[in-house]
Amino acid sequence: MTFIPTSPAETEAMLETVGVKSLDDLFDAVPKKHRFPKLNLPPALTEMEAAAHLSDMASSNENVRQDLVSFLGAGAYNHYVPSVVDHMLRRGEFYTAYTPYQPEISQGTLQAVFEFQSLMANLTGMDVSNASHYDGATATAEAVSLAYAQYRGKRKRIVMSPALHPQYRDVIDTYTQGMGVETVGDEETNLTLSPESLTSYIDENTMIVIVQYPDFLGRIFDYKKIIDEAHAKGALVCVVANPTALLMLKTPGDMGADIVVGEAQPFGIPIWYGGPYLGFFTTKKSYVHKMAGRLVGETMDVRGQRSYVLTLTAREQHIKRERATSNICTNQGLLALAASVYMSVLGKEGLSEVANLCYQKAHYAAKELSKLKGFKLFSSEPFFHEFTLQCPKPASEVNQYLLDHGILGGYDLGNDYPELKNHLLVAVTEMNSKEEIDALVEVLKEM
Amino acid sequence: MSTIIEPTIFELSSPGRRGVRMPASDVPLVDSLPQHLLRSELPLPEIAEVDVVRHYVKLSKLNYSVDEGFYPLGSCTMKYNPKINEDTCRYPGFLFTHPLQPIETVQGNLALMFELQEWLKEISGFAGVTLQPAAGAHGEYTGVLMMAAYHKLRGDTKRTKMLIPDAAHGTNPASVGMMGMQVVTIPSDSRGNVDLTELEKYCDDTVVGMMLTNPNTLGMFDENIEKVIEMVHKCGGLMYGDGANLNALLGIVRPGDLGFDVMHFNLHKTFSVPHGGGGPGCGPVGVSKTLLDFLPSPLVGIIEESEDDETAPFYGFVTPEHSIGRMKAFHGHFGGGMVRAYTYIAMHGPDGLKAISQYAVLNANYLQAKVRGHYKIPFDRICMHEFVAEGRFEGSDVRALDVSKRLMDYGFHPPTNYFPLIVPEALMIEPTETENKDTLDKFADALIKIAEEAKNQPELLHNAPSTTKFGRMDEVKAARELVLCCWLPENYEAMV
Amino acid sequence: MNTPSNLKYAKSDEWFDPASGKVGITDFAQSQLSDIVFVEILVDEGEDVTAGKPIASVESVKASAEIYAPASGKVAKVNKGVVEKPELINSDPFGEAWMIQIDGGVAGDLMDSAAYEKDSASRAH
Ligand SMILES: Cc1ncc(COP(=O)(O)O)c(C=O)c1O
């Protein structure tokens, strides 16, 4: 009866009001044969015991703050989260509220989401943002759904860069199983080709072109040309962007992208063994009716006060049902708040400092590592805070050696690209001190 | 011009203000990227830390929440969110582990995931569970994909129809729509059960399966549940259970035992993961043996059994033979979802879980008994964890929405409105097990009083809420003008 | 409720003008849907449409509806004006808010204005 406030006497009184003799009598509609199964679960722990048990489980992991030095990124990044962020998230007024269906008593959530939409649109250089998606991968899959709906299912081709995050490509494959579409471009094994080589796949049947910025191997390309080519064929272009990189880089909006999505975990959300994270979705105003997910719009209440409501809800599943573009209902509300507080409390200058630290440290690491015998950078393209390092041995062996020295080396690209089995994807953020970078270099030197 | 209660974060910004500072770089500096790759401006707010805190604290005070009061939002299970969960999910070992770390360095996480899979299997009577889906709707899509994959593998290609009762949540048909399948709506009968005669008409070899919420969104446990499942199975279809209402069934009955083939859990309803003002949730999916090989990949499994009782087994990831693939990046909502739900289940045990459902159902029936006679209850029998009343009254133009808004004046969050669609002016009331009798009595009194007001002083309802900080909103203005973002003012740099 | 007598009506609340071939939704339909904020025409000029098949989709502040062709034939024209200004459906459902024009349209199973008035009145709430 851990969190049940009702006393035995109250229980009796309530049963009498209902007109049944016992609690079990409430369940006569349940088939007798299966009623009241004996559950084989461990006995209940008190709060004190549960806290100790979970603490044990947590400490049996090796974490990247106390136990390991980490250069692992590949879609989840270890950043500093200012203290204010969690203080705000821990306010029960935010985290114990539901989706703001009743705007009169949900203005806190609604204005916070409106501000999140505004921050993301400003960051990506787009017109509008929705209230969030489950993560970067599902946001990308929803971009495909937008394009599919935009062309009413008449265009059937997805052109996808091979340097789009492999898990994002997997999720798109899963999501599109019922659409009868084809995916081309990502089977290319020559990863040194420029992204413009994708244009040969874009035809009049193409609904969307998907590229990543910086790409999965860390390279920064200006996608303007490919975007123009796609537009010439009537296709939409979705850019999957890293939000920390966008603090420094030319915006995809500036390049003419139609949709900019991505993973906003780097903005105030712990790496948390993979989730929950925060998918963002921004687009041009002309596609807003085809965009999935909740949207907050500004309005006025009967007293003349500026206020906010969920708007264009007739696009969504609860009204449009099987004709809705997406089934999304619950999204990542609280984490959108985390990202907003993160951006607000660091502000323009603080955020630029984060981006610059990432950039500087990654470049220092790349420079030092490529001085080592047998190591060199895979590409001479510009990069931001992640780069591909060619190693003298399989990346799996390098990683094992580093782990023995307390270092998480990077992402083994051989997992997804057999031809890159000697390559590590190395991420460096503001969390990595010069000392840590030097230690990485030192350990590898001795390997 | 409208009055501004709290400026936006952009309006609070002033050029040159600083919040949190980052340390200076400790590495030798390199040149910046070429100009053509850089953004021309970063139009983001500039605010001091104290003002950021005050802004968000002010916003928080404009919200109603479970921590403040009763939140009987039907279908959403707004139970108390135990505070210990907020601590356990933030233990550094959970917070600071990277999803791509070698498995030997995250055995604690994997053990937690494995045990949670096992516990959910035991609670629901299923043969396998994936923790990957992010929310209920994501779980539904996972389930629908598996059902399609199952028929496809058997070469059974003419199955394109999904049977869905008229009372279903919108995510059910939407999940089917995403798959390009056709929805066939099955009506409910006068007792709130699936209409068996209607169901019979559609059970043929074009049926993929049926998506059923049980107890359904009327709060009714289907009295013919075994017959319904038998009929769907007989025509070769699979049975999907929408587990949004599992809070009524813990230790009461296991959907797997009833014959369901697949079901999603909402850990953010049943297992106390907070709703966060819209998310994140966590929507694991359980399957019977039939669909075991189709689960999304990867799952957590035992790679090496333990040698003796003292040591733990070695956990890792496994991929089912006919897996539909990956539903999202990484492994699901580990920290915010799984750790909280694990903590919650660990603190309940078998008896504690059963008590949850007993009291959730008692509370709903108690409220139903108290308001009966004041509100029409279209399906009036012993309900499960929620019930639906009609918010309309003879000779009055008051609607369910007005009743809801008036409840705010009495200090309560309203029930769910206009869902399920089959009840006119629906008020869907779910008290949950964590409310005491006093609260339920006060809420019932308020509802009864409002029913009186609806007849004698309807303007009180039409003008409600009047005691809250905000009144009703102009939704047409929002949709027509479509202001979805704000920006720094045009003359921002010159503002100082 | 306005129900011009020169038009024919479908049970699903579309009107068809046999003289001009224009198609739209009725005054009754727009009042049921309330404030309309989005219209998408699902067929292109030159395309063949069949009576009873979807030709457009509309969304209001609180509802969404699929619009079906009341007649079969070739789409001669699509009204871009109504797509740009969906609120025309509320203000002028039988005039400026026509959606498509069908060439040589063969009407489906349609009612005259009196029958439609009766039918829609029975559905009003
Ligand atoms: C009956 C029912 N099914 C499905 C869902 C969808 O769940 P989620 O919001 O977690 O996607 C909900 C909740 O909103 C629901 O109440």
CATH number of B86-347: 3.40.640.10
Q: Is the Cβ pair A272, B95 closer than 8 Å?
A: yes
Question: How many Cα atoms occupy the beta-carbon half-sphere of A386 within 13 Å?
Answer: 28
Starting from the edge strand earliest in sequence, which strands make up the sheet with A259-263, in order? A128-129, A279-283, A259-263, A236-241, A206-213, A157-160, A182-184
Residue A348 tokens read as 């323009």
Q: How many CB pairs under 8 A join A and B?
A: 721
Residue A372 tokens read as 């080592």
| Residue where the block lists tokens 């001091």 | B48
Q: Does any ligand 1 atom lie closer than 6 A to the CB of residue B142? A: no
pLDDT tens for each residue of B204-236? 999 999 999 999 999 999 999 999 999 999 999
**pLDDT reading at B496 higher than 80:** no
**B121 CA to middle of ligand 1, Å?**
20
- pLDDT, residue A177, reads 95
- pLDDT, residue A402, reads 98
Query: How many angstroms separate the CA of residue B473 from the nearest CA in chain C?
Result: 12
Tell me if A103 sits within 8 A of A112, measured CB to CB. Answer: no
Q: Is the Cβ pair A289, C59 closer than 8 Å?
A: yes
Q: B493: pLDDT confidence band, cut at 50, 70 and 90?
A: confident
Give φ, ψ of B165 to 5 degrees: -60, 155
Mean pLDDT of the residues in chain B: 97
Q: Is the Cβ pair B479, C87 closer than 8 Å?
A: no
User: CA–CA separation, B41 vs A352, rounded Å?
Assistant: 11
Q: Does any ligand 1 atom lie closer than 6 A to the CB of residue B231? A: no
pLDDT tens for each residue of A156-199? 999 999 999 999 999 999 999 999 999 999 998 899 998 999 99
Domains of chain C by residue range: 8-104
Residue B282 tokens read as 């966590």
pLDDT tens for each residue of B450-459? 999 999 999 9
Identify all chain C residues contacting B476, using CB atoms and an 8 Å cutoff.
35, 61
| Residue where the block lists tokens 């999935």 | A292
Pairing state between β A182-184 and A157-160: parallel
CATH number of B351-480: 3.90.1150.10
pLDDT tens for each residue of A333-352? 999 999 999 999 999 999 99
| Residue where the block lists tokens 């009595």 | B441
**pLDDT reading at B310 higher than 90:** no
First to last CA, chain C: 13
Name the helix (H) or strand (E) containing B163.
strand B161-165
User: CA–CA separation, B80 vs B87, rounded Å?
Assistant: 15
Other beta carbons within 10 Å of B487: 12
Mean pLDDT, to the nearest integer, of B373-388?
97
- Residues above pLDDT 70, as percent of chain B: 100
Packed helices B437-456 and B400-409: angle between N→C axes, nearest 10 degrees: 120
Residue B46 tokens read as 């500039």
* Cβ-nearest to A314 among C42, C64, C66: C64
Map residue B90 onto helix, strand or coil. Answer: coil
Q: Does any ligand 1 atom lie closer than 6 A to the CB of residue B266? A: yes
Mean pLDDT, to the nearest integer, of A348-367?
98
pLDDT tens for each residue of A132-156? 999 999 999 999 999 999 999 999 9
What letter would DSSP give residue A309?
Answer: E
Domains of chain B by residue range: 86-347, 351-480
| Residue where the block lists tokens 């009866």 | A1
User: CA–CA separation, B247 vs B76, rounded Å?
Assistant: 10
Mean pLDDT, to the nearest integer, of B15-22?
97
Identify all chain A residues contacting C62, using CB atoms and an 8 Å cutoff.
313-314, 319
Q: How many CB pairs under 8 A join B and C?
A: 10
User: CA–CA separation, A418 vs A135, rounded Å?
Assistant: 27
Cα-only R_g, chain A: 25
pLDDT tens for each residue of B145-193? 999 999 999 999 999 999 999 999 999 999 999 999 999 999 999 999 9
Identify all chain B residues contacting C35, using CB atoms and an 8 Å cutoff.
476, 479-480
User: CA–CA separation, A345 vs B48, rounded Å?
Assistant: 7
Tell me if A249 sits within 8 A of B74, measured CB to CB. Answer: no
Q: A2: pLDDT confidence band, cut at 50, 70 and 90?
A: confident
Tell me if A282 sits within 8 A of A116, measured CB to CB. Answer: no
Task: Show the domains of chain A with their CATH numbers.
Answer: 69-81+348-445 (3.90.1150.10), 84-341 (3.40.640.10)
Q: Does C57 touch chain B (CB under 8 A)?
A: no
Mean pLDDT of the residues in chain A: 97
Q: Does C37 touch chain B (CB under 8 A)?
A: yes
Residue A330 alpha carbon, nearest atom of ligand 1:
9
Q: Does C63 touch chain B (CB under 8 A)?
A: no
Map residue C63 onto helix, strand or coil. Answer: coil
Q: Does any ligand 1 atom lie closer than 6 A to the CB of residue B136? A: yes
Q: Does any ligand 1 atom lie closer than 6 A to the CB of residue B425? A: no
Query: How many angstroms separate the CA of residue A256 from the nearest CA in chain B?
Result: 14
pTM value? 0.97
**pLDDT reading at A303 higher than 90:** yes
Report which of B248, B238, B181, B198 is spatially closest to residue B218, judged by C-alpha positions.
B248
pLDDT tens for each residue of B191-203? 999 999 999 999 9
Using CB atoms within 10 Å of the CB of residue B65, give its burial: 0 to 12 exposed, 13 to 18 middle, 19+ buried: buried
Mean pLDDT, to the nearest integer, of A102-106?
98
Identify all chain C residues contacting B425, using CB atoms and an 8 Å cutoff.
none
* Cβ-nearest to B177 among A20, A322, A399: A322
**pLDDT reading at C123 higher than 90:** no
Chains with ≥3 Cβ pairs under 8 A against A? Answer: B, C
* Cβ-nearest to B47 among A27, A347, A354: A347
User: CA–CA separation, B5 vs A305, rounded Å?
Assistant: 7
Mean pLDDT, to the nearest integer, of B393-408?
96
The answer for residues whose C-beta is within 8 angstroms of residue B77's C-beta and 6 or more apart is B244, B247, B266, B269, B270, B385, B430, B432
- pLDDT, residue B72, reads 98
Packed helices B171-178 and B136-153: angle between N→C axes, nearest 10 degrees: 40
Mean pLDDT, to the nearest integer, of B92-116?
98
Pairing state between β B426-429 and B416-417: antiparallel
Where are any strands of DSSP class E within A268-408? 279-283, 296-300, 306-310, 376-377, 386-390, 407-408
User: CA–CA separation, B13 vs B7, rounded Å?
Assistant: 10
- pLDDT, residue A210, reads 98
pLDDT tens for each residue of A245-291? 999 999 999 999 999 999 999 999 999 999 999 999 999 999 999 99
pLDDT tens for each residue of C63-118? 999 999 999 999 999 999 999 999 999 999 999 999 999 998 788 889 999 999 99
The answer for residues whose C-beta is within 8 angstroms of residue B474's C-beta and 6 or more apart is A299, A300, A301, A302
Architecture of domain C8-104: Beta Barrel (2.40)
pLDDT tens for each residue of B65-80? 999 999 999 999 999 9
**pLDDT reading at B279 higher than 90:** yes
**pLDDT reading at C125 higher than 70:** no
- pLDDT, residue B273, reads 98
Q: A331: pLDDT confidence band, cut at 50, 70 and 90?
A: very high
Q: Is the Cβ pair B175, A327 closer than 8 Å?
A: yes
- pLDDT, residue A189, reads 87
**pLDDT reading at B81 higher than 70:** yes
Using CB atoms within 10 Å of the CB of residue B209, give its burial: 0 to 12 exposed, 13 to 18 middle, 19+ buried: buried
Q: Does any ligand 1 atom lie closer than 6 A to the CB of residue B137? A: yes
